[in-house]
Amino acid sequence: MKQPTQRDSPGEVVYLAVGSNLGRRVENIKRAVRELKRRPEIEVEALSSLYRSRPMYHLRQPDFVNYVVRLRTTLSPRELLANCQAIEQVLGREETFPNGPRIVDLDILSFGKIVLDSADLKIPHPRLQERHFVLIPWAELNPGWVHPLLAKSVKRMLAEAGPNPGVRPLK
What is the full DSSP assignment across 52-91? EE--SSS-SSPPEEEEEEEEEESS-HHHHHHHHHHHHHHT
93, 120, 127, 168: which is the annotated catalytic residue? 93
> Whole-angstrom Cα distance, residue 62 to residue 68?
20
Q: Which of 38, 102, 131, 156 is catalytic?
A: 102
Catalytic (active site) residue 63: no
Q: How far apart are CA 167 and CA 119, in angstroms?
A: 30
Kindly name the residue from 25, 31, 52, 105 that is annotated as catalytic: 105
| Element at 125 (helix H, strand E) | none
Question: Cα-flanking dihedrals φ and ψ of residue 129, to 5°?
Answer: -70, -15
Whether the Cβ atoms of residue 19 and residue 32 lie closer than 8 Å to each other: no
Dist. CA 145–CA 2, nearest whole Å: 28
Our answer to whether residue 102 is catalytic in this structure is: yes
107 is catalytic: yes
Task: List the catalytic residue out of 31, 52, 70, 107.
Answer: 107
Q: Catalytic amino acids?
A: 93, 102, 105, 107
